[in-house]
Structure 1
Amino acid sequence: MGINLLQVEMDEIRKRLNREPDEAEWRVIDAVWSEHCSYKSSKIFLKSFSMESPNVIMGITDWQDAGAVDIGNGWAIVVKVESHNHPSAVDPFNGAATGVGGIIRDIISKGAKPIALLDMIRVGNLKIRKNVWLLKNIIAGIAAYGNSIGVPVVGGELSFDDTYNDNPIVDVAAIGVVKKDRIKPSIVNRPGLKLVLAGLTGIDGLGGASFASRKLSGENEIGAVQIADPFAGKIILDVTLDIADKVEAIKDLGGGGLAVAVTEIANGFGAIVDIEKIPLRVKDMDPSDIIISETQERMLYAVDEKNVEEVCEAFKQYEYPCSVIGEITKDPIIRFRYHNKDLVALPSDLLLNPLRFIWPIRRIKKSNEKTTVQLPPLKDAISVVLSHPDLVSKEWVYSQFDYEVNTSTVIKPGHADSAVIALPNGKLLAVKGDANPDLCYEDAYECGKGIVAEAYRNLASVGAKGIVAVDHLQFGDPKKPEVYYTFVEAIRGIGEATRFFNIPIVGGKVSFYNENSRGNPIKPTPLIVMAGLIQGKLLKNNIEDGLDIVLLGYTHGELGGSLFSKMFNISAEVPKARLQEDLLSSELVIDAINEEKITFAKDVNRGGLIATLFNVIVHGYGIEIDSKSILSDSDNTLETLFSENGGRFIVLTNEPEWIIDRAKSRGVVASIIGKVNRNSSLLKIDDTIYNLDNLVKNYFNFLEEVTNNG
């Protein structure tokens, strides 16, 4: 049958039904009970996340396609994050493009207008030609869909590691806006509603949910990848927003196709679907294939009978297929009929309540002993770390995106730590996505806390305070005790940090089985996407000659999980997430922005202080630093300059005394560590000058040269 269920699950299904399911029923159960759709190995732990906040309108509730929070003046934002990892590994263009299309439909399923996209991409070593091919086509797929549909890609991440050689990570987040009294549910609350399907069903994406719930086999799996059609997606977007007030519930057809969409929208009621009424792209499709097909650009609507004609008429104006395929019933059985004969007749309760699993865990013991390996000279360390592709300009990527469509983009990609977009209520929203796989590999708990804190700091660097987050948890096979341990620990850290900052998590995704064909898992890659409102003034980052460089926060000599330790294979202590320091320093930065006391702010993270300062140098300036003025618990210059511990910002100012005095009153450590000058590409540390001209050229040219030659 080609299904992906465990024997214990199959036995349980037979027991609950008291019979043997038909083949079509097995395929439906396989889709609905897949890890991708049911969260059967994660849901128990996800309940530890807090969604309690007076601003939360719609949070982590079963079968809602996205979360929503109140932003004032009668408006709400809708937030969602998704991935298309396995499809992008097999067909990077369509895998990435359909990831964009899918998350757009999640947003409009709430009746919200999508206004921004973020893409967080991780691929393998660019010395391998296949990875260059993957990267180029992933970027092309995102650009093709986002540009065609008219939603700007305003920010994201791009990083590289050997762990992603066969299994790239392609995360896409989206933001939408809607009047809060017009938010639509993805589930019904009464029987008798008609099920209306818009779009054609084809043979692409067959078994996609099951495909995403197992490791890549290395075989030809192209049939499990959906095909993108952004122009059809634009019709779905426009018409759905036009008819939203005419429907009771809206459900995107994603993983599991109609099998999952019908089951979830029914919300414990039953449904009858007549398969022969489903508009097809391919003639003579097998009826069971129709049920589980994951063809894109389809939406399912629950509609009161009196509004059905008006809903379908809106699609007919675009000559887009729209058909009544069934209805919601009081009898809690999900039925898929073919010419009045039941192919599938399964209780809603069975489908919506799969077995939950808590797998064995085994702690990975890593040494916290400081290495005795010979440390490199500072000059070599600077050159090696700043040459890493994680730190180069990403302009080659975002230049392919139309990031100013709809004219709501306030800060363009690459100009600050967070993207900023204008909202219809006159407010400004900052958004950022953060992950740190190297740190998670060393300590998933500290990493979970750290990525929440980093996202919070990134918002503060433009003047925003975080108000909401979504998460995406990406790991290998959960049945492997070491993998499951990192998953549980990451959740523990994320939960602790979001509760500390009072940031509700209103949605997310879990992606397991991110492994290559040899069974090697990716590094643990939890991701936080956070959004926040500008608290007063907006900082756009300006650099001038003569500005003082002030470091906020205390530097700890913790090199574990850092880019430095990765490049030089050094074992060291992992940085602890000191959340109070992150909070206080972030509040200070926001105050300084509102008081117009700083012109530039950047939090210290990947690459440590050196990489943060390099972001000043690449704008055509030089800097001079007194390392003795850096307040640190280490007397080792390498530890001080390359540690990636949190709680820190570099700010540029003409009024350093104000910063220092305000820091003292807030309990924040602060010190003047240097000045900006006109000596382009020169970094002076104490009495030594380093010419970074070649590193600056590499910063701007690396990605374009690699992709052109690859």
Structure 2
Amino acid sequence: MRLSLSTYEMELVRKQIGREPLESEWKVIDALWSEHCSYKSSKIFLRTFPTGGENVIMGIEDWQDAGAVDLGDGLALVLKVESHNHPSAIDPFNGAATGVGGIIRDIVSKGAKPIALLDMIRVGDLGSERNRWLLKGIISGIGFYGNSIGVPVVGGELSFDESYNDNPLVDVACAGIVKKDKIIPSVVKKSGLKLVLVGLTGIDGLGGASFASRKLSGEDEIGAVQIADPFAGKIIIDATLEVSDKVEAIKDLGGGGLAVAVTEMANGLGANIKLENVPLRVKEMTPEDIIVSETQERMLFAVEEGNVQSVCKSFEYYEYPCAVIGEITEDKIIRFTFEGKEIVSLPSELLLSPPLYMWGTSTERRGMKPRIAVEIGQAIRKVLTHPDMVSKEWAYSQFDYEVGISTVIKPGEADASLVKLPNGKFLALKGDANPELCLYNSYECGKAIFAEVYRNLATVGSIGVAAVDHLQFGDPRRPEVYQDFVNSVRGISEASKVLNVPIVGGKVSFYNENLRGEAIKPTPLIVMAGISEKFFRPKIDEDQYIVLLGITKDQLAGSLYHKLFGGEEETPNEILYEDLITSKFVTQLIREGKVEFVKDISKGGIIGSLWPIIVKGYSVSLNIDSIIGASRVESKLFSENGGRFILLTQNLEEIISRSRDNGIFSSQIGKVKGREKIGLSLNDKFLDLTEEVDKYYNFLEGMQ
């Protein structure tokens, strides 16, 4: 029996229940007390997040599967982010596919129809055959599941860093729509309700929650990975939405299987479960394995007795297993029995109250590199051909991003995706992380990634209304790792308050390390949703003026330039009010039709923001001296400090005047030129980038 429980925790259990738990009970406690399910090393700090707001219907509440905000017109948005990092490191296809299935069921469990998916993928150096195998499997798994069930993958990220060798990060977010008075809770408040399980239970995914709460060992742990079945997943979606008005609560069976789903749904009450009633995929499964199996495509419903037959009838129509396996009780004991024999009998309070930890921290500065001398033209070429800057069409072309005919801005077209809602408004979605910056200053990074996603939504005319976070780190018992975690939470919390975007849900993933025991770069990630009244599609054309909003600073640490060329550089200081003011100004310009193209300045600095124009076949003239703020040329071109946008417009004088009236520094820094040459003119010195554009489109073609 392999457990993630510490000796201290095991002794704590013995004292609380006054006896030695059975092996089956240890497995249940291990699942409930795992980092994956309990947040025992993070919950104290997560409580600092601002989770409320006038539009928040369901925020970060114990055991709720997703958050929800009011969109007006009687509609609510349900939003969630999850990951399947460890499973994808073992079996990338099924690991990624079941990650998609799990996040979709989280949305459906609120009674919401899933309308859009985002995938944020980070893998190691593509020079490694294993990393190429991982990436191919991850992309195939996401495409297989999403395409099969008809939920569009409308955007995401694909990033590369040797930090993710052995331990890729596979984040998936999902958005759904539901009538706001029809949202279903994940927990119950009264006893006597019948517990109805739909789907077959098998031997895949055994101990998955525990597996996700410890380091990768290199041993064969394939049995902890669930197997994807999107065709069964489609039945789950349709039938669950059909019966949602007949149930009191819905819980997706994810990490920890029945052990976690039953305990969390009971919400401090008790439950009696008869394991012989559980429909099985594999005959003669042991009772212990039935309890902790994480087989996918299953849901748990709490149902009034009079509605049980009606609920099961909807699933039986699809010949999908549906069975009453137990009921909610008053006695606050979680019991699992098998043919009359008691397998587990544990207090709800014990299972839902693991010890909470605050580990030691370290303020040691890390990551600074010696400077490599480089000429500006060479630096531009190196930055623009970095794998993070190349076309990701190879990946998103494998996803059906137009199913449902509601996707109006598709992957690769802008900084955020845009989906049309049933009420005629538009939902903007984006996910972002910046592990390079977090390595240098995780507090500033926490602020910066939240602000960047906020700016990304502004580039399509949208204001953020809700966010979810995923905090991904190494072993929290390492002082430098825990310091990064704590500081990133501080930064995210501060940005959420200043930008007035509540955090309605999230996830923490620790123990992300390679097989040599080295932690990944700290990778907190933010997914944000925004609402726009107007559809805006970016347009690039020659003779457009290039306007820079915001001040460029001599702050290069954590930038792509600094990653490549090093130096003792200053870390960007995110001034959140600059992001707030410039984003709202940009949104207003878009709504008035005053700009044709907007790009926030982030990875690659100003050069990176001009790159989408150049790869469309245009040349760009750039006057370096007109860039306000920074004193050094490399800072002017490559600094990634926040609060800035590139605009393409024909309304130059009006925008310059109005920006200054709004307290925003602005200047014309260049112009879009014709297609006779492809490249960049720096103070009239032309840099031909034809070869770099070819690499942009062809870098990943060998992955086919």
TM range (shorter): over 0.9
Write out per-residue CA displacement over residues 37-56 of structure 1, whole angstroms, 9 at most, x where no aligned residue: 00000001000000120100
Residues 9-20 of structure 1: matches in 2 within 5 Å?
A: 9-20=9-20
Matches of 1:228 and 1:497 in 2, distance apart? Answer: 37
Q: CA shift at 1:668, angstroms?
A: 0.4
Q: CA shift at 1:432, angstroms?
A: 0.3
Matches of 1:595 and 1:472 in 2, distance apart? Answer: 35
| Structural RMSD (CA) | 1.0
Q: CA shift at 1:372, angstroms?
A: 7.5
Matches of 2:651 and 2:413 in 1, distance apart? Answer: 23
Matches of 2:667 and 2:80 in 1, distance apart? Answer: 39
Write out per-residue CA displacement over residues 422-471 of structure 1, whole angstroms, 9 at most, x where no aligned residue: 11121111010010000000100000000000000000000000010000
Indicate the residue corresponding to 1:128 in structure 2: 128
Matches of 1:374 and 1:95 in 2, distance apart? Answer: 39
* Distance change in 2, residues 1:33/1:548 (3 Å): same
The two structures have a TM-score, normalised by structure 1, of: 0.98
Q: Which amino acid aligns with 1:94?
A: N
Matches of 1:546 and 1:423 in 2, distance apart? Answer: 35
Indicate the residue corresponding to 1:698 in structure 2: 695
Q: Which amino acid aligns with 1:660?
A: I
Q: Which amino acid aligns with 2:147?
A: N
Write out per-residue CA displacement over residues 389-445 of structure 1, whole angstroms, 9 at most, x where no aligned residue: 101111111110110101111111110100001111211110100100000001000
Residues 604-683 of structure 1: matches in 2 within 5 Å?
A: 604-634=601-631, 636-678=632-674, 679-683=676-680
Residues 84-99 of structure 1: matches in 2 within 5 Å?
A: 84-99=84-99
Structure 1 residues 372-381 or 81-90, which shifts more?
A: 372-381
SS of 1:114 mapped into structure 2: strand
Unmatched runs of 5 consecutive residues or more in structure 1: none
Q: Is the 8 A contact 1:51 1:506 kept in 2?
A: yes
Indicate the residue corresponding to 1:543 in structure 2: 540
Q: Which amino acid aligns with 2:114?
A: P
Indicate the residue corresponding to 1:265 in structure 2: 265
Q: Does 1:564 align with 2:558?
A: no
Q: Is the 8 A contact 1:539 1:600 kept in 2?
A: no
Indicate the residue corresponding to 2:408 in structure 1: 410
Q: Is the 8 A contact 1:548 1:653 kept in 2?
A: yes
Matches of 2:673 and 2:664 in 1, distance apart? Answer: 27
Q: CA shift at 1:680, angstroms?
A: 3.4
Indicate the residue corresponding to 2:319 in structure 1: 319
Structure 1 residues 406-415 or 446-455, which shifts more?
A: 406-415
Q: Which amino acid aligns with 2:476?
A: P
Indicate the residue corresponding to 1:583 in structure 2: 580
Q: Which amino acid aligns with 1:630?
A: I
Percent identity of the aligned residues?
63
Q: Which amino acid aligns with 1:435?
A: A
Residues 247-266 of structure 1: matches in 2 within 5 Å?
A: 247-266=247-266
Q: Is the 8 A contact 2:122 2:170 kept in 1?
A: yes
Write out per-residue CA displacement over residues 174-208 of structure 1, whole angstroms, 9 at most, x where no aligned residue: 00000000000000010000000000000000000
Q: CA shift at 1:539, angstroms?
A: 2.3
Indicate the residue corresponding to 2:461 in structure 1: 463
Q: Which amino acid aligns with 1:61?
A: E
SS of 2:404 mapped into structure 1: helix
Indicate the residue corresponding to 1:597 in structure 2: 594
SS of 2:629 mapped into structure 1: coil
Q: CA shift at 1:300, angstroms?
A: 0.2
SS of 2:167 mapped into structure 1: coil
Write out per-residue CA displacement over residues 473-522 of structure 1, whole angstroms, 9 at most, x where no aligned residue: 00000011110000000000000000101110000000000011211000
Q: Is the 8 A contact 1:604 1:646 kept in 2?
A: yes
Q: Which amino acid aligns with 1:3?
A: L
Q: Is the 8 A contact 2:367 2:440 kept in 1?
A: no
SS of 1:358 mapped into structure 2: coil
The match for 1:398 among 378, 396, 403 is 396
Matches of 1:379 and 1:596 in 2, distance apart? Answer: 35
Q: Does 1:288 align with 2:288?
A: yes
Matches of 2:129 and 2:107 in 1, distance apart? Answer: 35
Indicate the residue corresponding to 1:521 in structure 2: 519
Q: CA shift at 1:292, angstroms?
A: 0.1
Q: CA shift at 1:62, angstroms?
A: 0.1
Q: Which amino acid aligns with 2:141?
A: G
Unmatched runs of 5 consecutive residues or more in structure 2: none
Matches of 1:236 and 1:108 in 2, distance apart? Answer: 9
The two structures have a TM-score, normalised by structure 2, of: 0.99
Report how many aligned residue pairs link the two structures. Answer: 703
Indicate the residue corresponding to 1:453 in structure 2: 451
Q: Is the 8 A contact 2:360 2:482 kept in 1?
A: yes
Q: CA shift at 1:374, angstroms?
A: 5.1
SS of 1:77 mapped into structure 2: strand
SS of 1:405 mapped into structure 2: coil
Q: Is the 8 A contact 1:617 1:680 kept in 2?
A: no
Indicate the residue corresponding to 1:242 in structure 2: 242
The match for 2:681 among 680, 684, 694 is 684
SS of 1:526 mapped into structure 2: strand
Q: Is the 8 A contact 1:209 1:256 kept in 2?
A: yes
SS of 2:265 mapped into structure 1: helix
Indicate the residue corresponding to 2:25 in structure 1: 25
Write out per-residue CA displacement over residues 314-334 of structure 1, whole angstroms, 9 at most, x where no aligned residue: 111111111000000011000
Matches of 2:684 and 2:246 in 1, distance apart? Answer: 71
Q: Does 1:434 align with 2:432?
A: yes
Matches of 1:571 and 1:172 in 2, distance apart? Answer: 35
Q: CA shift at 1:367, angstroms?
A: 8.2
Write out per-residue CA displacement over residues 582-626 of structure 1, whole angstroms, 9 at most, x where no aligned residue: 111111111111121110000000011111111111111111011
Q: Which amino acid aligns with 1:8?
A: Y
Q: CA shift at 1:366, angstroms?
A: 4.2
Q: Which amino acid aligns with 1:66?
A: A
Indicate the residue corresponding to 1:103 in structure 2: 103
SS of 2:523 mapped into structure 1: coil
The match for 2:382 among 384, 403, 407 is 384
